[in-house]
């Protein structure tokens, strides 16, 4: 099993433990979580920032809204649970998005996002490579932040003071081949003009990967449960 599918199963288990009647999936992509929740008899609405994605989801029979993560445009406590599945590092302002999720959630906010164990050499290389890839994404106008920390996730809920916070880490350090790493890098370099500077930075990362290897990222599973739901 792909490690990320295992991490996703942890998210699904966390959702099921709350037994919500309704969910809001922020950054719902192609509707994977929407499909899962509807199959389980739960109301699930998706949020996307691209109109084309929203239209495609609606054409496929899903309920989806065109709006930003930091301005969801629905009343307070409209959904039992608000979920960010590998989407939070793509929002414009992470703290504002989490505060908005807390406003909308009746019971809980759940986040699944990438994480690297920097105590492991192959994970340090993976983290460096991840930062390199995201720098190129930002060069072409994409919102793609470094991995969020537990402190970033917890800060808005500590300010609000009415949530129980839980943070768990998962890692299956599956090795990535250098060939796959370089193929991904070439795809990224093709997006930017004058990539020479970025190629030099890549060479140093690849040299370290030859020595220490590079492995798949882990995941952070964060939950903030409203005090009245404890």
pLDDT per residue as tens digits for the range 10-51 = 999 999 999 999 999 999 999 999 999 999 999 999 999 989
pLDDT at 228: 75
Q: How many CA atoms lie within 13 A of 89 on its CB side?
A: 20
Question: For residue 127, what are its two tokens?
Answer: 């983290």
Q: What is the C-alpha separation between 175 and 156, in angstroms, rounded?
A: 35
Instruction: Flag whether pLDDT at 201 surpasses 90.
Output: no
- pLDDT of residue 197 exceeding 70, the answer is no
Q: With the CA atoms of 151, 102, 59 and 2 taken in that order, what torsion angle do they form, in degrees rounded to the nearest 10?
A: 30
Sequence-distant (≥ 6) Cβ neighbours of residue 26 within 8 angstroms: 47, 69, 72, 82, 83, 84, 87, 91, 97, 101
Q: Provide the domain limits for residue 122.
A: 3-229
93: Cβ contacts below 8 Å, ≥ 6 apart: 70
Work out how many domains the chain is built from and give that number. Answer: 1
CATH number at residue 172: 3.40.50.150
* CA dist., res. 230 & res. 224, Å (int): 11
**What confidence score (pLDDT) does residue 194 get?**
73
152 contacts 94 by C-beta, under 8 angstroms: yes
Average pLDDT over residues 68-72: 95
Q: How far is CA 210 from CA 29, 80, 111, 158, 204, in A?
A: 34, 47, 33, 42, 10
**Is it the case that residue 172 has pLDDT exceeding 70?**
yes
Between β-strands 63-66 and 79-85, what pairing exists: parallel, antiparallel or unpaired?
unpaired
Residue 230 reports pLDDT greater than 60: no
Task: Tell me: pLDDT of 198 over 90.
Answer: no
Q: pTM of the entire structure?
A: 0.94
User: What average pLDDT does range 61-77 have in this prediction?
Assistant: 95
Cβ neighbours of residue 192 under 8 Å, at least 6 residues apart? 136, 139, 140, 198
């Amino acid at each position: 099993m792909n490690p990320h599918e295992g991490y996703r199963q942890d998210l699904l288990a966390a959702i099921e433990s709350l037994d919500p009647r309704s969910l809001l999936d922020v950054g719902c992509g192609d509707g994977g979580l929407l499909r899962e929740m509807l199959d389980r008899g739960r109301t699930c609405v998706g949020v996307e920032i691209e109109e084309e994605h929203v239209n495609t989801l609606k054409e496929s029979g899903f309920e989806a809204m065109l709006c930003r993560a930091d301005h969801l445009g629905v009343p307070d406590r409209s959904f039992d649970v608000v979920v960010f599945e590998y989407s939070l590092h793509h929002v414009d302002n992470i703290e504002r998005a989490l505060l908005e999720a807390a406003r909308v959630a009746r019971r809980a906010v759940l986040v699944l996002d990438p994480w690297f164990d920097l105590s492991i050499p192959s994970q340090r290389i993976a983290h460096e490579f991840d930062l390199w890839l995201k720098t190129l994404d930002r060069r072409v106008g994409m919102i793609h932040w470094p991995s969020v920390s537990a402190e970033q996730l917890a800060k808005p809920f500590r300010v609000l003071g009415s949530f129980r916070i839980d943070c768990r880490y998962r890692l299956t350090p599956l090795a990535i081949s250098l060939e796959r790493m370089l193929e991904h890098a070439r795809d990224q370099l093709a997006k930017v003009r004058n990539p020479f500077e970025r190629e030099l930075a890549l060479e140093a990362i690849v040299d370290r990967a030859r020595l220490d290897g590079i492995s798949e990222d882990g995941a952070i599973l964060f939950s903030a449960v409203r005090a009245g739901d404890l």
